[in-house]
Amino acid sequence: MKFDTRCVRVGSRPDPTTGAIVPPIYQTATYTLPEVGTSKGFDYTRSSNPTRAMLEENLAALDGGRHAVCFASGMSSVDAVLRKFDPGDHIVSSDDVYGGVSRLFNRILSRYGLEFTYVDSSKPENVREAVRPNTKMIWVETPTNPLLKVTDLAAVSAIAKEKGVLFGVDSTFATPALLRPFELGADIVMHSTTKYLSGHNQIIGGVVIVQSDELRDHLRFIQKSVGAVPSPFDCWLTMLGIKTLPIRMERHSENAMKVARFLEEHDKVAWVRYPGLKSHPQHEVAAKQMSGFSGMITFELKGGIPSGKTLLNSCRMISLAESLGAVETMITHPATMTHAEVPVAERHARGLTDGLVRLSVGIEDVSDILADLEQALDKA
């Protein structure tokens, strides 16, 4: 099947009892057993659930992986991956990662003996130099959150294979509609299904997709033992969202390109980062490995923090909101919202200034998005 068809069809089988074209929600905690020692494949929903199994089948197919394991959030997905490692193990990570990932790595997992080195992974030589004898994994976001740096996945994959370490990719911003990291050598692909995959601001969820049975078994064990699993209803809603993923991502990308060009030409904007713009430092890498550039834009106003706050508070249609990747256009101030818990010195060292603005461009008519930005910028 082609990708668009997989989004609609894989895992979504008509109900054998009624013929309902939309599979039912198996909203149950437990299952009756035919007799002692036997089951129909399910015994308790923390361990497994038919609705979750359908979603996991679908998500594995979209990324070209063999196994998908769903969790209650993107963060619990990242945590499940990191539980693979032991005290004293070392992970090389992109420096520009979501603030929740920084919090997990620095304030929780480091207390249990894991070691982390952060590098600008858009420069593969930085990754190579950071690998130590005790390094177990290279972890990258691409594009990153919120600076939209792009990592050459094939180049970093070659380093990981040379050094004998795992290579994990958070591909939330791109989705498998635009980027498939397994084709470029990744061992692990993670998504926050909260974002573009479900696409409608209606659920919290995450998924880890792998090729190896050993990694699958590890993730299943964590899923069952910790119990951070999505509800059957959330899985069902995610599957509904995925059916329109290709056409949504096409519209997100189309709208974002127009908005990025508008911002780049505006006299109140100091700079714009969007992988689709030729001015983006890694534009050529993005164009090589992605089939589209998604809906995320980062920019800064010449007026600094005061102008940025005025802009955010002056938007009428565009929502001031924490999240991203939904049909609605949303605007965020990372320094006080998504990355508020990252220490100031660390934020500034990464280039995440206090005046930075992140825009998640939705699928509304682009003329309405541009009109709202224009009136807000007039006040900034």
CATH number of 3-242: 3.40.640.10
Domain chopping of the chain, boundaries: 3-242, 245-379
* 217 annotated active-site: no
Q: Which of 195, 248, 251, 347 is catalytic?
A: 195
Q: Which of 79, 170, 187, 234 is catalytic?
A: 170
Same fold: 3-242 with 245-379: no
* Dihedral sign (CA 205, 209, 213, 215): negative
Q: Per-residue pLDDT for the chain (380 aa), expressed as one digit of tens each?
A: 999 999 999 999 999 899 999 999 999 999 999 999 888 899 999 999 999 999 999 999 999 999 999 999 999 999 999 999 999 999 999 999 998 999 999 999 999 999 999 999 999 999 999 999 999 999 999 999 999 999 999 999 999 999 999 999 999 999 999 999 999 999 999 999 999 999 999 999 999 999 999 999 999 999 999 999 999 999 999 999 999 999 999 999 999 999 999 999 999 999 999 999 999 999 999 999 999 999 999 999 998 888 888 999 999 999 999 999 999 999 998 877 777 777 778 777 777 778 889 999 999 999 999 999 999 999 98
Fold of 245-379: Aspartate Aminotransferase, domain 1 (3.90.1150)
The pLDDT of residue 354 is 80
* 46 annotated active-site: yes
* 195 annotated active-site: yes
Helix axes 74-82, 213-226, angle to 10 degrees: 120
Q: Which of 31, 46, 163, 258 is catalytic?
A: 46
168-178: pLDDT as tens digits:
999 999 999 99
